[in-house]
Every structure is written in structure tokens, then in C-alpha cells.
Structure 1
């Protein structure tokens, strides 16, 4: 697998490179956002690790550019400063598949890389056809598109995966850690990742959203009229 590491801190980049190479990855290191986009355009990249704060376009802007382009399905892991919740939320909203807060364990990052790659490979191999429908919400599996009342709704890759999971498992309550494992494919991670995606998906679906909060237990997609407070 070919991994792109974009970080302007040479010490961090070198540590990450050595750990990933030890796990059999091919690693290219660049020091700016613009260099990261250039590398993605000219080389095969299977996953990108982007630092939020770097010159030539920060990681969030780079991720948004990736999602808008021909490499829109490229898995992305964001590196954020410890405690910068806003950066983590923006990273997820920009379409990042995961984030790791600095300072971090290089081994943990390596495990996250492997997890995201497994999930991405499995999704690519899974046959996708047909649609899932509930009320005014339609998810086109082949096109990976969502429509609400016949109008297209833009979703990130993970938001789409979350919606599809709910539509396939209606009226079933899932705790955040269950969703993290079954949608993200992670056995560990920050549960706020799930909360952010739930809120974003509700906002995009509007009145058609049937994601209910079951207090003390988790979330469910209800095929019945909403009765619970939808706030996360």
C-alpha cells in the first residue's frame, strides 16, 4: 500500500514514515498541502495522512479538494492538535475518515491506517446495486448518492455509509461504540466521531431524518413517526 504523509514537522513525519514502513507500507513524505495535492495527482496513493496545520493549504482544505476531485474516495486520516475539538469536527466535516490527535502513539496511528485501509478495501470489493428507501429518503448504492423528496443531498463517504447502515437496520438501537465498529470498522476511537456524523446527517436530511436518540442507549432509524427528541 502507498501512503502519503503530509506534515511540515520533519520529526513527526520521519517517525510516522518509519512505523508505516516497518508494517510493509510504501511511504512518501511531503511538507505542504500543495505538495500533497500534486503527489496525489501524479502518483498512486492508497491513503493520505494530513496534518491540519501546514503551509501551502492546511489539511482540512486539502481534504475538501480531494473529496471534490477525481480521487474523491481516497481514504484520509487527519492529524490534529491535542484538545482542538474544532479542528477535529472540521476535519470530519471535510470528509476525513479518521483523525488522530497530537501527540499520538505512532503504533496507534499505524493501527488506524490499517483499519481504514481494510474498510476501504472491503467497501470497494462489496457489490453495490439497487437503492434503499424509507419515506422521502432514497440511497442509491451504486452511485453513492442520496435524494430527499427527489432532490440530491450531498453527503461525505462516511455520512453515506452511516445512512445506509441505518436503512438496512431500521428500528434497532445501536450504541455509539457499536456504530463506530460496524460503520467505521474501528474497535477503538473517540465516540464523539459518531455524534458529529449523526448531527451532520440529521441536518442534511432535514425533516426526512428518522434518526432518533434513545437516551442512555444510542441511536436508531425509526420507521415510525418520530417520538423522541432528535438532539444528540
Structure 2
């Protein structure tokens, strides 16, 4: 079965939640055919693209569990494709790069542009399958968009959006904001926030650092949205405070 026929067959099928939907961006038809044959059970549904522009169209119009990208493809190259799906399309779908480019510089560039994993050719198809399955499981735990009323957050790009306004968060404030978005409408204790942001056990200095980073987060959100968005639950922790609920954020 050639790659074009495989694309037409799978692209016409209705998505089933029990399947792992893959987009394979690869211009080497023999490798594409081998992948298709190896994953030809009912657990997978595959689409193929042989160039970057076709891949961009599919990513913009279809929903995938994992995207596999070769770097040396016609049109938009793999590095640019990965960067554009993160920055322009705001996609957080897990990305596996498979390529013959195996230098440390190439790997570093791939991860900087938004890849989640990197597999150097030639590779064993079993390893390919194991990596795809691991990325699919990881992707199941995170929604492309976190929503709390009119407030949205994109974990893959760290962009927060409120109405027509948007801001990109960084560092510890971004981690804190993501956890508050996931917890909304409940509050998170100081210990929960410290554990998620620093991955260690709370102590006196950690509480001070937490207050400092919450203040920084509020300042960024206040500047971008006209509202600090984070409320202090005194003696307990913090929660989101949306403008439609409260007029102003509490002080640290």
C-alpha cells in the first residue's frame, strides 16, 4: 500500500476514541509503508503527509494524539513545522521527531522548537511504537486548553488569554498559574503549590518564595488583563479570582 493510498483510507475514517490517532510527516515512502504495516491493528489510526504544508493543513483541521515529524521534508522543514504548530497553531499535541540528524546540536534545536521526544534513524519499529505509546499516554493527561470561565491557558505555549488580551507567562509563575487553572474553582494549599513549582518539601524560605512568585504572577496578569486573577485564601493557600466574580484580587 503506498503512502497516498494509506492517507486516503485513514483520513476518511471516523475518529474513534479507543484508537491512537497519529500523523506521520515523512517523505520516505518505504519507511512510511513499514510504519503503516507495523501499526496496522485496531489500536491505531494513521494519517500521512509527505511535506510540511500538507502537515500544517492536517494539524490545523484534524485532532491527533501524537504527531511524528521527519526533519528533512519538502516545503516547510521539520524544525519550522514543529515551531509553527506550537507558536501559530497553539497545539500542545505531543511531537516525536524521527530523523537521520543525530548530532547533539540537532537534538537541542528539536527540543527548543517544541518536540517532546527525538528518535534517530535507523531505529527499531518496536522502539518507535513504545515511544509513540508513551507520548499518547502523556498527552491524555493534558488538555490543549485549560479554561476557567473567560480565562484560558495553553500549557504548551504558556500563553494566558482573557477576552482579546493575551500574555505569555514564564518560569515559576507559569507553573503556579497552570496548577491554579487545573484546580479551579477549588483552592490549592501552600504545600501543593510549592510541591508543583519546586518539586521539594516546604520550609520557611519556600513560603516566602511562594508569596514572591504569586506577587509576580499577579503583577503580570494585572498589567495584561487589568486584574490580578489570584486570590489569597488566608492561612490556607490561593485560588483563581475571576473579574466576573470579584472586583479585585486580594493582596499577598
- Sort the TM-score into its range (normalised by shorter chain): 0.5 to 0.7
Higher RCO (C-alpha under 8 Å, 6+ residues apart): 1
Q: Is residue 24–residue 47 contact of structure 2 (8 Å, CA) maintained in 1?
A: yes
Q: Which of the numbers 95, 108, 119 marks the counterpart of 1:89? A: 108
* Superposed CA offset, 1:78-134 (max 9, x none): 012153222211110001111111001111111111101101102339x998xxxxx
1:105 aligns with 2:135: no
Structure 2 counterparts to residues 1-232 of structure 1, below 5 A: 1-22=20-41, 24-81=43-100, 83-124=102-143, 144=155, 145=158, 152-153=168-169, 167-170=197-200
Query: Which range moved further: 78-87 or 5-14?
Result: 78-87
| Deviation for aligned residue 1:8 | 0.8
- Separation in 1, partners of 2:51, 2:128: 20
Q: Which runs of 4+ in 1 moved over 6 A?
A: 163-166
Cα distance change on mapping 1:152 and 1:28 into 2, 3 Å: closer
SS of the counterpart of 2:143? Answer: helix
SS of the counterpart of 2:118? Answer: strand
TM-score of the two chains, using structure 1 as the length reference: 0.56
Q: Which runs of 5+ in 1 are unaligned?
A: 130-140, 173-232
Q: Is residue 82–residue 103 contact of structure 1 (8 Å, CA) maintained in 2?
A: no
- Separation in 1, partners of 2:159, 2:80: 24
Cα distance change on mapping 1:166 and 1:43 into 2, 3 Å: closer
- Alpha carbon RMSD of aligned pairs, Å? 3.4
- Separation in 2, partners of 1:65, 1:100: 20
| Deviation for aligned residue 1:166 | 6.2
Cα distance change on mapping 1:106 and 1:73 into 2, 3 Å: same
Q: How many residues align?
A: 154
TM-score of the two chains, using structure 2 as the length reference: 0.52
Structure with the greater alpha carbon radius of gyration: 2
| Deviation for aligned residue 1:169 | 1.6
